[in-house]
Amino acid sequence: MTSLSTKHLLGIKDITLEDINLIFQTADNFKEVINRPIKKVPSLRDVTIANVFFENSTRTKLSFELAEKRLSADVINFSASSSSVKKGESLVDTVSNILAMKVDMVVMRHPNPGAHIHLARHVDCSIINAGDGAHEHPTQALLDAYSLRERVGDLKGLKILIVGDILHSRVALSNVFCLQKLGAEVRVCGPATLIPKHMESLGVKVMLNFEEALKWCDVVNMLRIQMERQDIQYFPTLREYTMQYGLSRELLYKVGKKDIVVMHPGPINRGVEITSDMADSEFSIILDQVENGVAIRMAVLYLLAGDASSN
């Protein structure tokens, strides 16, 4: 197999295990490229990509831009806060105007779940979802699984715990889809108020007791509490949240855990969901996740560019 089964990357739910493996194989090649003294290849020369961000981002935006530049694409960056969206222009009109300037592909982050699905129905280019509200963040899940595979090998049968604000997390949902396709067992843990009701129907067991959940897992993926998406208070105080669900070395020792892989998609709130000591510990692959994001995004862009160059 040399091409993806889809024209867009809207979510992990829509792609196959073969697609994931092809992205990983392609990322292996690009990882080798970006570790050379000359980190650039001409693969996307003459392809123009727009990074359209309606929501803040550090890692995803920079990582896509770097991936595009490493592939020699022409890149334009759009930020909603300084655009005519402020004057009432619709999403489809905004992107259609960008495409009229002979742009071939769009990478978009949007606060509304499903915004990318809506856009893909109205425009004729490949769309890559860089995060849509609390729905999906497919390249994050791909880089997470890729980084984990690099650390532990085959993910089949691996026990992975996602902890924290599952309700508002696009990372959690995309990780569940991706890790299950790769044969891992995924469970979630957090306050009952921050766990969506449909989790069990996805084959994901809910654990409310963090100590018990830590004993069970091989890997723990700690999520940030997304205060900006919370309209009501879901737990009494942050201090109490940290006492019940914060990851620390003391807690690991208390539950008798000697070996674990610690992940976090960022941004980290040090001292809330994870101590600084654990974030920077020998268990942590957090910066590997960021590093691998560039190779994964190069792979996705490269594999979808076949459609782009035929526009």
Q: Does 59 bind ligand CP (CB under 6 A)?
A: yes
User: Which residue is it, tokens 């090998």?
Assistant: 153
**What would the two tokens of residue 131 be?**
């995060």
137 catalytic residue (yes or no): yes
Span of 9-17, 58-66, 77-85, 91-99 interacting with ligand CP by CB under 6 A: 58-66
187 catalytic residue (yes or no): no
User: What single string gives the DSSP state of each residue in 9-55?
Assistant: B--GGGS-HHHHHHHHHHHHHHHHHHTSSS----TTTT-EEEEEESS
d(C-alpha 155, C-alpha 148), whole Å? 8
For helices 170-181 and 138-152, the axis angle rounded to 10 degrees is 50
Measuring CA to CA, how many Å separate 37 from each of 65, 70, 230, 311? Answer: 19, 12, 45, 33
Nearer to ligand CP, 109 or 181 (CB): 109
Span of 53-61, 98-106, 233-241, 297-305 interacting with ligand CP by CB under 6 A: 53-61
Nearer to ligand CP, 139 or 242 (CB): 139
Q: Applying CB under 6 A, which of residues 51, 60, 275, 284 lies at the interface with ligand CP?
A: 60
Q: Does 6 bind ligand CP (CB under 6 A)?
A: no
Of 59, 149, 205, 257, catalytic: 59
User: Which residue is it, tokens 């809910």?
Assistant: 206
Of 61, 110, 135, 137, catalytic: 137
- Number of residues in contact with ligand CP, rule: CB under 6 A? 10
Rounded to a whole number of angstroms, the minimum distance from the CB of residue 130 to ligand CP is 7
Report helix, strand and coil shares of the chain as percent, to nearest 5.
45, 15, 35
Q: Does 111 bind ligand CP (CB under 6 A)?
A: no
User: Which positions from 259 through 278 interact with ligand CP, judged by CB under 6 A?
Assistant: 265-267
Backbone angles phi, psi at 135, to 5 degrees: -90, -85
Q: Does 257 bind ligand CP (CB under 6 A)?
A: no
**What would the two tokens of residue 264 be?**
């976090």
Of 109, 110, 116, 297, catalytic: 109
Q: Does 226 bind ligand CP (CB under 6 A)?
A: no
264 catalytic residue (yes or no): no
Across the strands, what pairs with 292? none
Rounded to a whole number of angstroms, the minimum distance from the CB of residue 59 to ligand CP is 4
74 and 55 Cβ atoms separated by less than 8 Å? no
249 catalytic residue (yes or no): no
Q: Applying CB under 6 A, which of residues 140, 180, 284, 292 lies at the interface with ligand CP?
A: 140
109 catalytic residue (yes or no): yes
Mind telling me the catalytic residues? 59-60, 87, 109, 137
